[in-house]
Amino acid sequence: MSESKRKILVLVEGARTDARLMERLLDIYNFDVKYEIISYGTNIYTLYGEMFDENDPSKVDLLQLLKERESDPNKKLIFDISYTDILLIFDLDPHAPDFSREKIRRMAEYFVESSDMGKLYLNYPMVEAFYHMSSIPDEQYNNRFATLEELQSGTYKMRVNRENRNHGYSKFAADRDECNIVIQQNIDKARSITHEEKVSEYLPEQAHILTAQLALLTGEHKVAILSTCPFFIPDYNPALIQHE
């Protein structure tokens, strides 16, 4: 399908950090496609309850479900559009009261195709992982983890602000060259934790990344800090993040 005919719905968890990051990435990489970025407004486990709990998810119309949740009549029209691709950008949130290994596994195994049911990209532990680098590139990034204890205490976001290169998000990876490095470091880290060959031309599957992260969570009460939300860019066109 030609790029000009693509219409992408990007469903993000939060209305601020998540939406702004996706808007920035789409702008930096000059995605000449029509897209809508919509905030779901709560975590992925709520989406599980609405789609999977008592339903066969393949029989649930995601767009209709989102339309029913939307209180603004004007925004409801967004869900009457036919989209070629649906991206779901959510956090693992292992500290959430409704966190469930089985629920998140089931969702990662279901949302695997953007042009069909939608494709899920999880951030570990949350969207702020994109900004959790002290330099670009960051030689220590592969060794950076978030503990369940700091997530439960609510101190992780403060740690990101403290350890982020700019001590803020607006000037971090503000151009394409730096974004390329950040994305490639996250791809390399994903390959590292899943023990996949670095020379592989394919990105590690989200379900494989999740399995590795859940093993860390179970065995060591921590997750590897990892941002997979920008993986939609090399999924769309690997050449976009290659250095000239």
* pTM, entire model: 0.94
Q: How far is the CA of 9 from the CAs of 73, 101, 117, in angstroms?
A: 18, 26, 12
117-140 tens-digit pLDDT: 999 999 999 999 999 999 999 999
Q: In the chain, where are the structural domains located?
A: 3-241
pLDDT band at 234 (very low <50, low <70, confident <90, very high): very high
pLDDT band at 2 (very low <50, low <70, confident <90, very high): very low
Q: Find the mean pLDDT for residues 177-189.
A: 97
- What is the gyration radius of the CA atoms in the chain, in angstroms? 17
Could you give the CA distance from residue 91 to residue 155 in angstroms, rounded to a whole number? 16
- Residue 198 scores a pLDDT above 70: no
